[in-house]
Amino acid sequence: MGAVVSKTGSSVPVEGVAVGINEVLEMVRNDGIETVDFRFLDLPGLWQHFTIPATGLNESVFTYGLGFDGSSMRGWKGIAESDMLIVPDPTTAWLDPFPKSKTLVLICDIKDPITHEPYSRDPRNIARKAEEYLLNSGIGDVCYCGPEAEFFIFDDIRFDQNEHSGYYFVDSIEGRWNTGRDEGPNLGYKPRYKEGYFPVSPTDKHQDLRNEMMHNLIACGMEIECQHHEVATAGQAEIDIKYASLKRAADQLMSYKYIVKNTALQHGKTVTFMPKPVWNDNGSGMHVHMSIWKDGINQFAGDGYAGMSEMALHAIGGILHHAPALVALTNPTTNSYKRLVPGFEAPTRLAYSSRNRSAAVRIPVVAANASARRFEFRCPDPSCNPYLAFSAMMMAAIDGIKNKIDPGPPFDKDLYDLPAEQLAGVPSTPGSLDEALVALEKDHEFLLAGDVFSADTIRTWIDYKREKEVDELRLRPHPFEFALYYDI
């Protein structure tokens, strides 16, 4: 995550500064570190870990790695070829505030134990190759990503699914549905549906909790821009972390989700990054800001539309052109498409604009600050694997730059209010994960450039999502179907 723990026990951000193996080993020896936690993630994007005693961490571990069984990792190899190597990255060191033992976290790369080559399905390896591809292209030397991940803070969550029943139940002290509940006493102040943006206390019940999340994130090495209540009732929130280079931004987002969830757990709350856990209110998105730099100069700054360069507009063209396939990676759950519904809160129309938040790509207004020129892809949600999502976005942008893809004219009108005849000419995101996977099958050559994504990884992703998610949901009756059809 770009932080190293100092001898005082606090984490120090080191964005852009190499943290060496010797520094980490010295810190372990001198700062009372008891355990070292190795973090890595499966293909869908869930963090995994195992822990060793601090005495087991030495230079050899950083050089040669440790063997482990990878057969249980979703989307990885089968049991017949399950042995893998895990190699910690010393530049990612940070002190975990949650375990009882003083624990150092190291985010790791995965390698093949025979060839010692990086594992092609390791998401972090894909992000590394994406950064190398950008550098080798000559277009830039760093791609900055700034994700804005939204989430819900609930007091209770129950769900079950079996052969004869299926249900879910979420609850929150802030839930508008609880205005009539006997809470002994009920004090009211529950945000109205779609009116939860920026209320102060007492309507905002989670200011202190979000502050604690923010301070924990800072202590673990992140730079935080702001925290606030989001639009939905029932504790929807957002904490914005400062942009970083592509792989580091993905490292930070995985750490962010872990820290936010565990801070909530300490207070008897539960956090979910599921895109649409509450019906009839806003879902949780993750707008991603992106820019490409070279030799310290923002290549997206120029004198074109909204202060953008021709390169930036072509990058936007690439994003819009490949968006139907992109969302299979940036919006990778069946639940994602409960949020991406035309005419509702999420931007689904594949257009771009300055300031207009109804467009899939927005160019933020940054006054005369050329270094801040960037675009924002507003479709993604925080259920994604960030290494895959950010890499795919950058690859689409580079494809747009290389092939000079014209994004067309900007849409500076509210796309939600356009007449039907005008709206018919504006393409939209796919309506389901299944449709997005079909689009990815048809359009993924841009991801294979530079061997960033392998054909095997794309095929594995599509097959996994279809078999484990799309088909499994398709086979099960939905509770609302009983309300619609039971009496027919």
Give catalytic residues, as residue numbers: 69, 148, 150, 230, 238, 287, 357, 376, 378
DSSP code at position 189: -
Give the helix/strand (H/E) hosting 465: helix 455-465
Contacting residues for 467 by C-beta, under 8 A, at least 6 apart: none
**Residue 115: C-alpha distances to residues 64, 127, 189, 436 (Å):** 12, 20, 60, 35
| Bridge partners (DSSP) listed for residue 103 | 35, 96
Based on the number of CB atoms within 10 Å of its own CB, is 145 exposed (0-12), middle (13-18) or buried (19 or more)? buried
Rounded CA-CA distance 480/50 in Å is 41
Task: Give the dihedral of Cα atoms 429, 148, 107, 134; nearest 10 deg.
Answer: 60
Rounded CA-CA distance 425/385 in Å is 32
Give the helix/strand (H/E) hosting 158: strand 156-161
Q: CA neighbours within 13 Å on the CB side: how many for 167? A: 7
Residue 355's identity, in one-letter code, is R
Rounded CA-CA distance 177/173 in Å is 10
Rounded CA-CA distance 260/272 in Å is 10
